[in-house]
Structure 1
Amino acid sequence: MEKLDSIIEDEELAGDARMTGTNDFGVRLQCEPKPTSVHELRPQDIDVVGAMGDSITAGNAAEATHMIGILREFRGLSWSAGGDDTMETSITLPNILKKFNPQVKGYSTGTDVRTRDLWFNAAIAGARSSGIPGQARELIGRMKNDSRTNFENDWKVVTIFIGINDLCALEKDPVGASPESYITTLEEGLDILHAELPRTLVNLVEIWDIHLLQQVAHGYGSTPACRAVQAAECNYVSTANDTEIEVIKAFNDEYQRLTEELIATGKYDTKDDFTVVIQPFIKDTVLPYTENGEVDSTYFAVDCFHLSNKGQALAGMNLWNNMLEPVGSKTTVWGIKDLKCPTKDNPYIFTNKNSNQQSSNDIMKHGEIMNKKATTTTKKPAVTSPAQTKPTVVCSETCSQVVPDWGIALLVVTGVVLLFQLLVVICITSRKRSKPKEAEVYNNGIAL
């Protein structure tokens, strides 16, 4: 009897094993080969996302409705690492990438300690640049030990945003918050990633103009409570006088300059499967404005310091758009824009190397002489606040081509000619001193 029971049990186990089918093999249909170079990386090739930084990346206060809520981490809504919901309801970099590769992994989800999944979002609230080397080691450790991903073969995009808390500490810790200290520890963290993380593109997002916090504290949607909390979180900047603001601006600019100088050395372009690209979409910061011309503080959380869910989405959109813009021609002004799409001519995420190649192709294509430096170093222009419009999500399976420069020039010339012809007709008609006939006006749209 015992022998029979044993036989039956063996047969049941064997049956269970048979029922698992091909799931046992971890098979994935992939008709196009993965690239071997980071400079040929397309959105659909990205398998894993990760992030490093401070409370902005941790998603602190994103959906907070009261001041206690600023301590909550809404990691699933993080602009660079959050994966809650879909792109239609939460515009984050991972949710955009899901449109190209539904199997992308590594994004953080949920809120609070018991319900969240950090996965590869290694950001720590309150972190300064000195914490980046530790976060780099933590991120690598997580990736190596994660059974859901393939450390050696998966293509990874890691986004780093750090420096706000450094600038807030300028008064209390002038040495530790100096531009030299900032770039030294940032470089140390990037060196660790470069040495130990295969198949990786690092988005290095430049620090924003933090002195504008004072305007946020008095914009549409701000409150006396938010001003008080902002002063507690970043007192030196929030309460700075005109002289101190100039000092903060100078340090802010130096952070940016040294960051650009570091990446321009090319030290992170020595391997074919790794690179660091500066994404400068908030370098020349222009705050969002309402239709009435007020700073729109609803893009910031209830403390007028962190980003609200709407602000997180705006950052996610602009990060994505920067990734699809060539180095040297990247947008440096934070604003609401339609999501860009890869094109047939430019299917890759732009890097320092393939941006140079694209510039060469443009010269051959259009016969234009272009003299663009492969760096994001620019003098900050005087900018005005753009009118705010609802962002349009346009990235799908097929995307429209951008009108080339020669096409725009052709449209301008055509417009001038038509205007000239219209003036001639008006003159002739006036001379005849006759009542003009009613004319139908047609608006010719150009489908892009």
Structure 2
Amino acid sequence: MAGSTIRFSPLGKSNIAVAVVAVLLVLVGKIGTTTAQPSWEINEQRANQVLNQIILDDPTVIKVFIQGSKTSDEYGDLFQDKIKKPFPCRFSHKNPKRSKHPPQSVNRLRPGDIKVVGGIGDSITSGVGATCLSVATAKREDRGYSFTAGGLETWRTVTTVANLLKIFNRKLRGYSTGTGNFKSKQAGLNVAIKFALDDDLDLQAKFLVSKMKKDRKINFENDWKLVFIMIGHNDVCAYQCSDPTGQSRDTHKANIKAAVDYLVQNMPRVFIAIISMIDTTLLARQPNTEACKIITRKIVCPCLEKTGNLPQDLVDMSAVVRDYQQAEIEVTELDEYQNNNTFTVEWMPFAQAFNGPTNIGDPENPKIVELFTNSSITAPDCTHLNQRGMGLAGRLLWNNLLEPVGKKSASLNMHPKFKCPTIYRPFLFTKKNSNVTNYLTNLFG
């Protein structure tokens, strides 16, 4: 398994000591197994070691870490504005919320036909920092607000894909209901793990299947499931610059494929949506607080300090992100995932709207400049999405699901209109039904 390799970041040399101790314990018989430590645990240890060293070097930093540089009043835009207008999608006997009978093909799925929602990935999917006011509390996993499977409140105040699906199917299962780690009851079937790397996906996929099977209210064999995958941020931020071969776009592709293979082989009736990773340079391309400059880049994203030349490190990292995104596309286009009615694997490109320049001197996307001038969509650590950002991502992801393959949007709009299923195009889009002729065949066939 890819996760069996112990990794080191540019700032994580102390992991060598951890590895040596582990080997010694095995030799003296104090560890009963040689099973490799999961990458997310190694990455979390690395981050904690760096934090401890920062505080040892300058104890005054802890004040910035705890208080940040914004007050609760300045975080007035932490939460999304309540949506007061009626839900724009209209339903009738000709355009129902869900099919009269469960569809036999993934190419005929209406939103209401989805009975189970889940997700695997890293801290972006687990909702880290969504409602936090300081860097210190930005470790909390606010899964109930996650833009994929968060299920707190309603779509009006917490616009997530899960809450939007509940409009079409009130009996939806799997959404998160609160704060907790991936094993918690509140997590539901959002089993994403903070600090996770892409070689952790295979284990997450297995845990997701196991957890889903244990839910007695889910008909595992017959219910249609929507599973989100989003990964790569920790790989690019903390490891790729020191291990470009082990963290290559081909490795990213292989690790995602391993998880997808497990899901399609062990989870009947599933729509798998691979979400484009967010360009991790956004951490430094937005207005940074002192906490972000001093702490977050060093802990979360040390590759942004690879050369000490930030403009060069930014364009280098953005180029790597684009390679990773292309690898994600290639997974969805593999021949083995085509022409099967029981599953599909589709790419959701909305996060490409946050891609940064790949050449020094190229201008920033004016939409991003406008976004951070007028409001904020990130948590105090400048790395994760706050609840307002989650709400925006939820809308954009929803629209991607209802846009044809090849025409899915990747443009930034703070108030995008909701896409709706229509009489003639009522299904979630797949590669097979995105063609007009094929769509009509599925509609009337």
Other-structure match for 1:236: 303
**Structure 2 unaligned regions, length at least 5:** 1-97, 356-364
Measured after TM superposition, the shift of residue 140 of structure 1 is 0.7
TM-score after normalising by structure 2: 0.69
Instruction: Indicate the SS of the match to 1:342.
Output: coil
Other-structure match for 1:351: 430
Distance 1:293 1:145, change over 3 A: closer
**Bigger Cα Rg:** 1
Measured after TM superposition, the shift of residue 267 of structure 1 is 1.7
Instruction: Indicate the SS of the match to 2:157.
Output: coil
Contact 1:227 1:303 in 2 (8 A): no
1:92 correspondence with 2:186: no
Measured after TM superposition, the shift of residue 226 of structure 1 is 2.8
Contact 2:281 2:317 in 1 (8 A): yes
Other-structure match for 1:319: 397
1:197 counterpart (255, 264, 267): 267
Contact 2:118 2:227 in 1 (8 A): yes
For residues 124-273 of structure 1, the aligned pairs below 5 Å read 124-168=193-237, 169-216=239-286, 218=287, 222-231=288-297, 232-237=299-304, 241-273=310-342
CA distance in 2, matches of 1:339, 1:358: 25
CA distance in 2, matches of 1:124, 1:117: 14
Aligned-partner residue type, residue 65 of structure 1: L
Distance 1:273 1:288, change over 3 A: farther
Measured after TM superposition, the shift of residue 284 of structure 1 is 3.6
Contact 1:322 1:331 in 2 (8 A): yes
Measured after TM superposition, the shift of residue 131 of structure 1 is 0.6
For residues 332-343 of structure 1, the aligned pairs below 5 Å read 332-336=410-414, 337-343=416-422
Aligned-partner residue type, residue 205 of structure 1: I
Cα deviations by residue, 1:53-89 (Å, 9 ceiling, x for unpaired): 0001111110001222111110100100111111111
Contact 1:61 1:74 in 2 (8 A): yes
Cα deviations by residue, 1:202-237 (Å, 9 ceiling, x for unpaired): 111112222232112x2xxx4212332321211213
For residues 388-407 of structure 1, the aligned pairs below 5 Å read none
CA distance in 1, matches of 2:99, 2:385: 40
Distance 1:293 1:203, change over 3 A: closer
Distance 1:210 1:249, change over 3 A: same
TM-score after normalising by structure 1: 0.69
CA distance in 2, matches of 1:65, 1:103: 34
Contact 1:75 1:116 in 2 (8 A): no
Aligned-partner residue type, residue 290 of structure 2: P
Other-structure match for 1:70: 138
Aligned-partner residue type, residue 222 of structure 2: N
Cα deviations by residue, 1:357-415 (Å, 9 ceiling, x for unpaired): 458869xxxxxxxxxxxxxxxxxxxxxxxxxxxxxxxxxxxxxxxxxxxxxxxxxxxxx
Instruction: Indicate the SS of the match to 1:210.
Output: coil
Residues matched between the structures, number: 329
CA distance in 1, matches of 2:224, 2:370: 45
**Structure 1 unaligned regions, length at least 5:** 1-29, 363-448
